[in-house]
Copies of this chain bind each other. A is one copy, B any other.
Amino acid sequence: MSVSGKTAGIKDVALAAGVSVATVSRVLSNGPVSDALRRRVEDAVRATGYRPNLSARRLRSQHSQTIGLVVSDIRNPFFTAVSRAVEDAAYRAGMRVILCNSDENPEREELYLRLMQEERITGLIFAPTRATLDRLDGLDLDFPVVLIDRNAPTGRHDAVVLDNPRAAAMLVEHLHAQGYRRIAGLFGNTSTTGQERHEGYRAAMTARGLAPAARFLAPHADAAEEAVVAWMAERERPEAFIVSNSLFLMGVVKAARRLHLPIPDGLAVAGFDNEPWTELVGPGLTVIEQPVQDIGQSAMALLFERLEAPDRPSRRLILGGTCIVRGSTAARMAAAD
């Protein structure tokens, strides 16, 4: 173990084994070394308690073996799950992950992108804000980028996203089939995700001859709660809400509670992200489940493929969501208006 004060280096190991540092290095990287020397070196490694210095290794070999992951907020359960999947895949491939939270703030994104450059990461998995998405092409980063959750309009980058329009349409379909007609929508105003879901919602509504009614909010539960309370005080009260993320889902539930509206009879609701608690709230909340595990893994897979074939045209992987039907969208009871 670390008998001497300083940490043992490859030199010390070489000395202890009576070989050159080159040989030690080769043993460590399974290079061509005779069995006899290999044994001696391995013993010496154990004896000295040697641990390679990754900074030195990275500097010399010019491989950082590091991938960057920039999300808006790790506390968003969607990103929590995705990042866990990414990290598992990365560590399995012998790489490390650097995680950064942008808080949907383009300046922080820029800061972190710079950091990623300085770390010489091998690749980036990124859920950018709209602002950064627009500038992304002009940024000439020297590593490949795989977008998650957010979609590049230009399609110049690899990406793995949910089929957002389709998912939103599924919710409209479902609510419509259950007898709801005045279906309002609440969408996030910072990401492309909200836009896409809105688009799907709008199309599905008009396709059924229903009037879309959408509002765009900052991604906070409170914003959604206030919006719902205000909206329900207006002349045309929605019968149901489709909301574009789990924060809004909380907001709607809170608003319903505040207004003493039972779910779903007073107000139906459906949203995104099948978090464990959605099953437990009220009669259960109908949601679109995103394949979070798959998203993380696929993002890593896409990244690795890109690293192997840098010039291949970009690919977008569009994953389908699953509609988990629960009590919050039970069939509408006939009601006098």
Contact = CB atoms under 8 A, between A and B. Distances in A.
A56 B299 CA distance: 29
A7 interface: yes
Nearest to A250: B276
A118 interface: yes
Contacts of A1: 140
A279 to B, nearest CB: 8
A253 interface: yes
Contacts of A281: 277, 280-281
Copies of this chain, how many?
Answer: 2
Contact of A59 (B51, B55, B73, B119): B55
Contacts of A119: 54-55, 96
A107 interface: no
Interface string A82-123: 011001100100001111110000000000001101111000
Nearest to A256: B280
A117 B254 CA distance: 47
B64 A55 contact: yes
A253 B253 CA distance: 18
Contacts of A97: 98-99
B64 A74 contact: no
Interface string A59-88: 100001000000001110100110110011
Contacts of A226: none
B75 A80 contact: yes
Interface in A256-310: 257, 275-277, 279-282
Nearest to A112: B91
A53 B253 contact: no
A1 B281 CA distance: 53
A253 to B, nearest CB: 5
Sorted nearest first, the 3 A-B pairs with minimum C-beta distance are: A277-B277, A55-B58, A55-B59
24 contacts: A1-B140, A2-B140, A2-B142, A7-B142, A51-B117, A53-B59, A55-B55, A55-B56, A55-B59, A73-B84, A74-B74, A74-B80, A74-B84, A75-B80, A75-B84, A77-B77, A87-B99, A88-B101, A97-B98, A97-B99, A254-B280, A275-B277, A277-B277, A277-B280
Interface of A: 1-2, 7, 51-56, 58-59, 64, 73-75, 77, 80-81, 83-84, 87-88, 91, 96-101, 114-115, 117-120, 140, 142, 221, 250, 253-254, 257, 275-277, 279-282
Given A51-B114, A277-B280, A280-B281, 4 more contacts: A1-B140, A51-B118, A74-B83, A98-B98
